[in-house]
Copies of this chain bind each other. A is one copy, B any other.
Amino acid sequence: MMKKIECIVKPFKLDDVKNAITELGISGMTVSEVRGFGRQKGHTELYRGAEYQVDFLPKIKIDLVVSEEQVPAIIAAVQKEACTGRIGDGKIFVSDVEQSIRIRTGENGIEAL
């Protein structure tokens, strides 16, 4: 079985998380910039005499599709690296993936990762 792990982390943690994951032998991931809304509150900005609240904070989402048995190690690694101990460190979500294909070769399943 394959799992998808979505990690939402603070932007400056990307490098550390990436390194930790690759050390576990994972060779691929897909990263995107997102904006997070959560317990961590945003900040106010000022423009020409009017203040306003910016609620959404920049976060990085890392998507990994991996085989089931790798999940615990990855979760542990991400948690260790991405944790600063302060609000807004982010989340890890795990869900099922049914099928994976490597476009270049047509390989299937775990081999495709």
Residues of A whose CB lies within 8 Å of any CB of B are: 3-4, 7-9, 18, 27-39, 55-56, 59, 61, 63, 65, 75, 78-79, 82-104, 106, 112-113
Specify how many copies of this chain sit in the oligomer.
3
Q: How far is the CA of A36 from the CA of B31 in the complex (A)?
A: 6
When C-beta atoms are compared, the residue in chain B nearest to A56 turns out to be B31
- Assess whether B37 is in contact with A18, with CB atoms less than 8 Å apart: yes
Q: How far is the CA of A30 from the CA of B38 in the complex (A)?
A: 8
The SS class assigned to the A binding surface is strand
Q: Which of chain B's residues have a CB closer than 8 A to the CB of A79? A: 101, 103, 106
Given contacts A84-B104, A96-B96, 13 further A-B contacts (CB under 8 A): A4-B93, A28-B38, A28-B39, A29-B38, A31-B35, A31-B37, A32-B35, A65-B91, A91-B101, A91-B102, A93-B100, A95-B96, A95-B97
